[in-house]
């Protein structure tokens, strides 16, 4: 795939997530479950990452939910996304938050940082969106210090095909051209994600089913158009 084609794929995805940013963020901030979500994710990330304070990069941060959890756990957090709409929301919240993450525009596949800059790299619900995941994982490994941690969370969101996603506007932006560029998007198990992590040279790769999040989703429900599904934490060491 040419650079022009890759750029058009990413442009479509950026446009979709910027358009969807307010609704996406509202679902992340649902008041009836927000405190329990923060507590559950704080425990998950707290167990997955090095002791604080560590230098953590959260890629594809969206409106920053995970980045704020890391900051709340005492880490020094840098967070990037290519959606202007998402980053605008994250920065507005950061302006009112102590020890806030540093939010910026950046590509998760090719993060623009000096090699060896971070103790940990994280993302949540990003792996399925990656064009060229092998390239992304190789770049992430270079950004980690020796012994650094990679911790990613995802699930098998679209095993029957991305074209069946009923979310309004999704099919307009995630057209056939985009869908064909996302090799992990339609996986029926978490194993392809695990294999990409292993192939990039990460050691001691583990997979943890996130049952605490599954229980919350069953109790409160998930975003419209989505199904309750088991999510997984995939962790490795550089």
Task: Map out the domains of the chain as residue ranges.
Answer: 3-237
Segment 82-97 shows an average pLDDT of 97
When pLDDT is cut at 50, 70 and 90, the band that residue 164 belongs to is confident
Q: Which residues contact 89 (CB under 8 A, 6 or more apart)?
A: 21, 22, 25, 63, 64
Look at residue 1 in the predicted model and tell me its pLDDT. Answer: 46
Q: How much is the pTM? A: 0.95
Segment 153-159 shows an average pLDDT of 95
CATH architecture of 3-237: 3-Layer(aba) Sandwich (3.40)
Radius of gyration of the chain (CA): 17
Look at residue 8 in the predicted model and tell me its pLDDT. Answer: 86
Q: Which residues contact 12 (CB under 8 A, 6 or more apart)?
A: 173, 174, 175, 177, 178
Per-residue pLDDT tens for 208-227? Answer: 999 999 999 999 999 887 88
Say how far apart CA 136 and CA 143 lie, in whole Å. Answer: 11
Q: Per-residue pLDDT for 13 more than 70?
A: yes
């Amino acid at each position: 795939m040419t650079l022009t084609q890759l750029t058009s794929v990413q442009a479509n995805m950026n446009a979709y997530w910027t358009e969807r940013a307010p609704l996406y963020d509202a679902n992340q901030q649902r008041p009836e479950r927000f405190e329990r979500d923060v507590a559950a994710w704080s425990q998950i990330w707290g167990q997955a990452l090095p002791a604080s304070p560590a230098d953590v990069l959260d890629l594809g941060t969206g409106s920053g939910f995970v980045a704020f959890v890391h900051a709340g756990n005492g880490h020094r957090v840098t967070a990037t996304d290519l959606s202007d709409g998402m980053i605008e929301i994250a920065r507005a919240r950061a302006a009112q938050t102590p020890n806030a993450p540093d939010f910026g525009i950046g590509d998760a596949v090719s993060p623009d940082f000096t090699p060896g800059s971070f103790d940990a790299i994280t993302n949540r619900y990003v792996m399925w969106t990656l064009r060229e995941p092998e390239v992304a994982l190789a770049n992430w490994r270079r950004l980690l210090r020796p012994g650094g941690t990679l911790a990613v969370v995802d699930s098998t969101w679209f095993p029957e095909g991305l074209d069946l996603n009923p979310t309004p506007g999704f099919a307009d932006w995630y057209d056939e051209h985009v869908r064909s560029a996302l090799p992990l998007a339609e996986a029926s198990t978490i194993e392809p994600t695990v294999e990409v992590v292993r192939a990039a040279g990460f050691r001691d790769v583990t997979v943890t089913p996130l049952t605490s999040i599954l229980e919350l989703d069953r109790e409160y429900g998930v975003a419209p158009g989505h199904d309750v599904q088991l999510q997984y934490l995939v962790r490795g060491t550089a």
